Structure 1
Amino acid sequence: MNTSIDLPEMKVFAAVVTDGSFTAAAERLGTDKARVSRIVRRMEEKLGARLLTRSTRRLNVTEVGRDYFERAVCILTAAEAAEAAVAQQSREPKGLLKITAGSEFGTMVVDDWIAAFLRLAPKVTVEMEYTNRLVDIIHEGFDVAIRVGTLEDSGLSARKLGEVVYGLYATSDYLSGRPVLSAVSDLKHHDLIMKTTRGRANWFLINSTSTEKITAPPRCAVNSMIAAKNLVLEGLGIAQLPRFMAEPYVANGRLSCVLPGWAENPAPVHAVFASSRYMDPKVRSFVDLCVSMFTGDDIHAE
């Protein structure tokens, strides 16, 4: 068996497994399906093992193929890191930067970071995906993920950018003529707009000394902070919102903060990437910019 490593062939095979078909891999690599199929067949002949099983309806990875894929990804990542280490000598960000972030935080915050970065780095192009699923940045080819909340132990590198802080908000129209709101226990007499988490609608409100769990049935349960903000602005109740989302409306008088000091714990925000040792200049530059822009009273920087 010829064991020489052919990185271009390895990259083709990794694309087939990641995308699930020859056609999708060909589109990603800018080539044609027949060429991709020939390369995989040649790899199988060279390795003396079946990597994929093919049928008219689907493509399956064999056990040997799965093991080869996982090792191939490690080799390709190491090769990219080696190239990135050399590229760092120039320190000029360039090339394609693939970023992913959650839909709400991405469109309300990360968009501004990307706009500033594109102005800062004219030789960089950006491909951005907004999704609330947990993206496998290595297998899916992303350079950076912006994640809100506690990180799982994934083995990836991460840099904490800061924290999102929260508060309770309502309109003056809603509060007028309603029961006095001077303690957390008073919330049971009010209409609450709650963001659901895995189907549960409740709040864990914390101040400097104690914690209160609010389980009163909400007037409206939603799975979107943007939806909660919109309903609050309509004067339909009290919602817990990120300060970066609510404070502009406090400044123009449309919202008021109620029960100041009570809110759920701040949520950490991280930039997640493959390696901190050999960061491509465009990745390092983007993460540094995110840190510099993560400032102000509404979003707490580290």
Structure 2
Amino acid sequence: MNELAARCRAYDTVARAIRFVRERRPCQPTLQEVAAHVGLSHFHLQRLFSVWVGISPKRFLQYLTTEHARSLLRGEYDVLAAAHAAGLSGPGRLHDLMVACDAATPGEVRSLGAGLLITYGFGPTPFGWVIAGTTPRGLCHLQFVNASDHLDADDASDAARQLQADWQHARLVRDDAALATSIARAFARSGQGQALHVLLKGTNFQLKVWQALINVAPGEVVSYGELAARIDHPRAQRAVGSALARNRIAVLIPCHRVIRENGEIGSYRWGGDRKQALLAAEAARTVTHACP
């Protein structure tokens, strides 16, 4: 837990470094300039950045300056298809983690969780604190918490109220230790054996959108229009956006991989910087695996 807490505290520093490199890419900032911007020695930043992202700041800058990287982040799907053909995403299942989805029954949706016991807990991740909730049928809640390097009582209370609002009549029991393994698996870089089950509550259309998102590979991005086409509703971009806004399972249902039609990163319910950090980390690992 101490190690995870340390990685959580490092999130703001690494995110600021990523943002600085991205914004100053045309000027090709040096490692010393990036380190000075975030207030670390260049040696400390090199080590922290490499551990967290998986590559060095210099390698990340090189990645950003390539035409492939620009095409990847801006959603030029013909180039992405070529990248896939070159093996950048790897064969087989498109998701790092095996995620098995189970929809809440109509009765469960109508009853707002009456008679349901939800065990929930908080934990640090490389991208900030999260709250997770689980039922006997699987993980029903995973959201980022607006906290800094530590979680205070107000942060926890606000996050718990949101969970209760989603399942108004369910009984909530806090147990951070019970959720530690599920949180760790959700943010693991690769799958760990058995599938991680999630319980989804939404309309049939929302479920289709969320299930399609699971098949968007790490390092890949799609537009709202392409995601709509994947579920055979090519004119439903707005409805797709609404479904993403209702997603209660962060990262595992990877709405951070959806960008605007014009190639802009776009908004993210848990913060644009966090979305950029998630995409950058995934894409950098993809390139690292393809080019050892």
TM-score w.r.t. the length of structure 2 is 0.22
TM-score w.r.t. the length of structure 1 is 0.21
Between structure 1 and structure 2, the one with the greater Rg is 1
Higher helix share: 2
